[in-house]
Amino acid sequence: MTNALPLPFRLPDYRVVIAGGSKGIGRSIALAFAEAGAAVSVCARGQAALDDVAHEIAAHGGVTHAQGCDLADPAAIRRYINAAAEALGGIDVLVNNASGYGFSDDDDGWLAGFNVDLMAAVRASREALPYLKQSPHASIVHTSSIAAFHPRRNGAPYAAVKAALSQYTTSQALALAEDRIRVNAIAPGSIEFADGLWDRRKREEPALYATTLAKIPFGRYGAPEEIAHAALFLASPWAGWITGQTLCVDGGQGLSG
């Protein structure tokens, strides 16, 4: 974890399903919940990375489940969520973390974001709902983005779909409150990790990398573990009176517009 921070959370009775959990933020969220003692299931499309993270989760000694899943495919989501619930013995927390990274302003760009960033979250939530209703500490955490809050010259599809996800968070929270299911989102700023978007831009587009870095008041890119810390908090009893919120974790980046 970042700076070897000890986790303040112990969640040994939690069963956590992470849709999109093999790399970067998703991987860090999976490992953080495993370190906190939770049973963890992850899915992703890439089998090699999925196998690696499953091995890392298992090293913490808890129940582990991993399954390949194309989160743009409704039938695959249905199979995965039900298999995860069976493997873990139920679901207490659903984390919707996948992104289609739809940046191009054409139909492919828009549909990539719509199908993965938004509809995968809708569909996974729908499939998980019967299990969440049986949980004494149920919650859903979506991964949005600070891009949802500001206009963009480039990447409009990504920003618009993330804005829709943040709005869906509020409506879903209201609809599920009577079932005592909390729903929140995290809006990360620019996060850097090995072979991630900003790591590649550092090599391929150094001017863009430097310009973005200059807009972050804390003077550095974020680490995926810092998003994982927020996910742990939002899913934990310490956030038991928090629902319908999107929490920015960005080192002040959004303050610069």
* CA angle, 32 then 118 then 228, to 5°: 15
Q: Could you confirm whether 162 is annotated as catalytic? A: yes
Q: Residues 22, 80, 162, 236: which is the catalytic one?
A: 162
Selecting among 22, 145, 166, 236, the annotated active-site residue is: 145
Set 22, 28, 41, 144: catalytic member: 144
Strand 182-188 versus strand 139-143 pairing type: parallel
Helix (H) or strand (E) holding 111: helix 107-112
Residue carrying the six token digits 């729908």: 126
Question: Reading across the β-sheet that carries 246-249, which strands appear in turn?
Answer: 64-68, 39-44, 15-19, 93-96, 139-143, 182-188, 246-249
Coil/strand/helix, residue 182? strand
- Active-site residue, 236 included: no
Instruction: Give the DSSP letter string of 117-155.
Output: IIHHHHHHHHHHHHHHTT-TT-EEEEE--GGGGS--SS-
Let me know if 133 is a catalytic residue. Answer: no
Is 23 known to be catalytic? no
Q: Is 39 helix (H, G, I), strand (E, B) or coil?
A: strand
Rounded CA-CA distance 32/28 in Å is 6
Which residues participate in catalysis according to the annotation?
144-145, 158, 162
